[in-house]
Structure 1
Amino acid sequence: MLGATDAASTGAEHVVKATAYDAILLASFGGPEGQDDVIPFLRNVTRGRGIPEERLEEVAHHYRAFGGVSPINDQNRELKAALEAELARRGIDLPVLWGNRNWNPYLRDALTEANARGFTRLIAIGTSAYSSYSSCRQYREDYAKALADTGLEGAIQIDKVRQFFDHPGFVEPFIEGVRDALAQISAAGIPLDQTHVLFSTHSIPSTDAAKSGPPERGFGAGGAYAAQHLAVAEVVIAAQEHAASWDLVYQSRSGPPSMPWLEPDVNDRITELAGEGTKAVVIVPLGFVSDHMEVKWDLDTEAMETSEKLGVMAIRVPTPGVHAAYVSGLVDLVLERRDGVPLDERPALTSLGPWYDVCRPGCCENVRLGFKPALAGVAP
């Protein structure tokens, strides 16, 4: 296995041998921090995909509406500080390094810092909970590329925590948020049978969805990506005092009309529900760990405008952000690997988990790009 620690190098699905990590690598998407950054950032994101400049300008409008500043970098600064505080509270000496895939500070900067500080074994936390090319494998490819770009292959090893879609620390904030939103709607005099919960996540190409997760698991057309979201949504609804009707919806598609992406779109579904007599919707950003641009624009701007136009009350549930349960859960995920916690002691709220420590062969293939070198998984 490329770049793995000794404990993970066997390629076992779950690593139950303790590993003395030197530091945590907090890995995220990145975002522009000023108007001049917007187009260069979008070029980084879409490099190699042949996206025309006109399309980049369309997407740039979302960032320019917020002064050209994506909220994601400040959110990662807050998360890094929260992780450091939780580690200190528990007496755990693990520095937190932060690197992005698409903007400063880049992953290569974090690895250069790690090398300068003498760190050789890193455990990575990617700020994405689910399985797909863009939310897991692409991070793993970027770890490999950053090692190659810095010439640190062989000098630094990188493992990753498991995908944490059904870890209690990630799910609890959504359970609380839906409970609070339903209470607000009830207080406004709207009955539960006229209220609908919409669990929203980023749409991805249908081909990528079908290839998400290990091929041998046979998840069907939506792959592990859709199956994981549906399973978590069921947990969130089951935790409510009263059952509520709900759907999984998608947002933020960016591909050409000729390419199928996961549907239905959140705005289309709100429109349908309004026509069916729904008076209120609870919008749950289930696919997101923080309030970054897709949440602020696609949900807080577009979906809210759609709801208001149709006379539907809408409440958007908070993302985990720096919720105490989420931060504590991320530290727990690191300790699973540091301490080699047995599989039957690892928490998971759905029958799909605990997910794999080491990604399986062929997991989350990008059909258009093929397999590239990737860390923290069994080739290809």
Structure 2
Amino acid sequence: MATDTHADATLQGVRIQSLPKVSLHDHLDGALRPQTIIELASEIGLDVPSTDADDLADWFEDQSDSGSLVEYLKTFDLTTAVMQTRDGLRRVAREFVEDLAADGVIYGEVRWAPEQHLAGGLTLDEAVEAVQEGIEEGEDAVDANGSAIRVGQLITAMRHADRSLEIAKLAVAHRSRGAVGFDIAGAEDGFPASNHRAAFDYLASEFFPVTVHAGEAAGLDSIRSALIDGRALRLGHGVRIAEDLDVVQEKGEEVFVQFGDLARWVRDREIPLELSPSSNLQTGAIARWGTQLEDHPFDLLYQLGFSVTVNVDNRTMSRTSLTRELKLLADAFEYTLDDLEAFQLNAAAAAFLSVEEREELIELIAEGFDR
């Protein structure tokens, strides 16, 4: 049975879906509509686990709930397979934007790896151009419906491959045509950011923003490498920074925490954490603390002053939306609208935009929550 990822998501009488939001960690190949997968697969003669959209949504959710990032990533074989043509990429990108807007997102960054979408004969540039066409079509469609959204591309290199410098140059080449930042993704453990130092050196020389997947499937050393070797301005997930915190004493509701040097640096420098609660449960990223959302160190990090943001990671695999993630957190930790607003303001401040554009985004969020 399909799950409505927006249903009954209210807080203090307010529909969370209607609140203005910022989405920073959202994978294009993890955000396909099941019906779109079925239709695109039919066009290329690809077998799918089910030709019923609800059943296919069930399949993705079941396959992704493995407790392993490696197993979780295998579900992308199907989604990337239907994203190998210009039309396929354009459609998926357009629908991605439309779905963000339906979720109340007013600014989003979509991350994806062009090197994984060349099997149909596209060049890297053609792939990026196709996605940008889809984004702009989606933005226009949202505008025609009386809303507004802006979406930028985070051009991503696969950390287990050796094309990161090439992909970094691709990102910079498209910085005035939709690309707003760079990322590395894929199997984290055993593939540190230091393997891609040449790419990060180049990006730094071009003053191009970087976020790095770190602190999900690997721990503190991975985060350290993302910051030192990658010069990351944000941490993709970053949840395992909590491993550098030691709860040394508890008195009633008061908790005393001892910071490691890395955790203190991330907190004091306000390096944003792109946390994805449901995904972190599915991949086992929070296994050290437990297996339920209430065990997620999200609230600990928030209460200690880390710059936490809320994200979906992969809408299809986690069968979720930003509305749903916020509702889950509110239920788990008794958050109020003020808390949800704080998460959006953190995300707006962390967006890869100019300071003027971030200030405008912050004003839009404040106005939306005031209403």
Q: Greater CA radius of gyration, 1 or 2?
A: 1
Q: TM-score, normalised by structure 2?
A: 0.30
Q: Which has the higher contact order (CA 8 A, sep 6+)?
A: 1
Structure showing the higher strand proportion among its residues? 2
Q: TM-score, normalised by structure 1?
A: 0.30
